Amino acid sequence: MTIPRDSTPNPKTSPDRAPASDAAVQVDRLSHAYRGGRTALHELSLSVRAGEIVALLGPNGSGKTTLFRVLSTLIPPQSGSAKIFDIDLATRRDEARKLLGVVFQNPSLDKQLTARENLRYHGHLFGLRGGELEARIEDLLRRVDLLDRSNEYVSGFSGGMRRRVEIAKGLINQPRLLLLDEPSTGLDPVARADVWRYLDEVRRRDGVTVLMTTHLMDEADRCDRVCVMDAGRLVAEGSPAALKERVGGDVITLSSRDPDAVKKVLREKLSIEPDAIDGPVVRFERPRGHELIPAVIEALPGLVDSVSVGKPTLEDVFIRVTGRRFDAIDD
């Protein structure tokens, strides 16, 4: 849906919204440990500016889900602080909830209700009733292209359609901050593109700040800024382009049945120090990497099964800052 430029409300001046703070989210030295001693967050600090779309990117066990649970007020901060628009989540949780919209990874819709009924009953939790609530439901279902299906049971919806209802549900209270936990998990490419179209519109039309957790590189690539998490810590942050620039040059990846021999030859013959990652893949970075390929193949006769050269990705950023592949971490 295209929103005319002159019809876009200003969230800082709309009479029904409080003045926007520069920081939508402010986390300072936040730590959290679960029963049994597992520490999920280690003095984590980060901020999200109002109006941004920001991804918390990390594999399973990185702490992003725990941070999401703190910010969505499901669990209180144990040490350090977390604030939503300057509202402390430890002492003013109910006040903060009025500014939040939350879309969880696991479906929270009642499949035996229609799309309209799911939104209506969720609106009741925020004290919404009557004409105001019905107007919001109508607007949201129109914006997620489900107005013509609004009286159908959710049980008959596809995964992408259900996700669109979830997003509409998260916006029923007109939040200033929308939190999403793995919003595209399990969706096909078309449904994922639809989700992103709606998120872009929410930010553009309503000035809503969007913070999401994800383990999908292409999803993080679409955000204004990415916060890379590993083992409960923030290890890198910046725009996707700025993060990739930290890698530098091209990324050369070699696949071999004897990666240790490949690493040894690269060091001794070409003075190349590969990244310290496990498995059959040997990886290193070089400016104008394609020019180096003939020399690499000549130095490694019979040792290389395949070779590729590409521009840096966010996974390459993760490898650079952690020394291991993104998928090499367990819960």
Segment 198-201 long-range contacts (CB within 8 Å, at least 24 positions apart)? 198/143, 198/144, 198/164, 198/167, 199/53, 199/167, 200/53, 201/1, 201/3, 201/143
pLDDT in tens, 38-51: 899 999 999 999 99
Q: Domains in the chain, ordered, with CATH? A: 20-243 (3.40.50.300), 250-310 (3.30.70)
pLDDT score, position 78: 94
Residues 6+ apart with CB under 8 A from 321: 228, 230, 235, 236
Q: Please state the φ and ψ torsions of residue 28, each to the nearest 5 degrees.
A: -130, 115
In tens, the pLDDT along 244-266 reads: 998 878 999 999 999 999 999 99
Q: What is the CA radius of gyration of the chain?
A: 23
Average pLDDT of span 77-83 = 96
Cα(300)–Cα(288) distance, integer angstroms: 20
Distance from the Cα of residue 19 to its chain's centroid: 26
Phi, psi for residue 152 in degrees, rounded to 5: -95, 150
Half-sphere CA count of 197, side-chain side, radius 13 A: 14
Mean pLDDT (the chain) is 89
